[in-house]
Amino acid sequence: MLESIAGAAMDMSAARFSVEYSMAVTKKVMDTQELAAQELLEMLPAAPSMGQYIDVYA
């Protein structure tokens, strides 16, 4: 009986470690993607001012 309790405790500990590791990796990936998105937004050209491309002769 003690072996089954010890085995269950080890399994729970391994499962907890696995979940924590997965969450840490996911957070790191999200941070990396956020930085990449910010860099892409900085590369976009500025929007033209209002009225610059209005066809007044139509």
Give per-residue pLDDT as tens, 2-49.
789 999 999 999 999 999 999 999 999 999 999 999 999 999 988 767
pTM of the predicted protein model:
0.62
For residue 19, CA distances in Å to 8, 10, 45, 57 come to 16, 14, 41, 64
Q: How many helices and strands, by DSSP H and E, does the chain display?
A: 1, 0
For residue 49, CA distances in Å to 1, 41, 42, 54, 55 come to 76, 18, 18, 11, 14
- What residues does each domain of the chain span? 1-45
Provide the pLDDT for residue 42: 93
